[in-house]
Amino acid sequence: MALKIGDPAPEFTLATDIEGKEVTLADLRGKKVVLFFYPKDSTPGCTKESCDFRDQFDTFKQRKVEVLGISRDSTKSHARFREKYALPFTLLADTNGDVCESYGVINKKSLFGKTFLGIQRSTFLIDEAGIIRAIWRKVKVPGHVEQVLDELK
């Protein structure tokens, strides 16, 4: 069953791009969280989306909102990606895809005539109590970060 607004956000603990660190959603209670799922580090759309979040990071910070990016890439890949583009937020490694599955962002995709399962670009706004307050699926990168900020007003 697909997650909807008003549902509790599925709990998780994932490794970060900073060695030895983990993030648990429950530890973020009391803060709003923007959780954005993206297909792959250092690809054009994912780089643009991540840089858009980077460029508005101070606005999120002023509004006391935690920004977290999740993909199935490794922590090492995340570390290189974050360093290369000076991303100020944490990237989480869901290498086995369990969190992606629990948020319903794994879908059939096709590329060059081949079908495969991959992450559908999606963003979730989670409130201080761990409840989903907004969902964006099949995200189009241009203007997306502004949509998220508008929802936070």
Q: Assess contact for 47 and 123: CB atoms under 8 A.
A: no
Full DSSP string of 9-48: PPP-EEEESSTT-EEEGGGGTTSEEEEEE-S-TTSHHHHH
Specify the amino acid at residue 68.
L
Rounded Cα distance between 141 and 138, Å, is 9
Catalytic residue among 46, 93, 99, 139: 46
Using left for φ > 0, alpha for ψ between -120 and 50, and beta otherwise, residue 102 falls in alpha
Q: Interior CA angle at 54 toward 73 and 65, to 5°?
A: 95
Check if 46 is active-site. Answer: yes
Give me the active site residues, please: 46
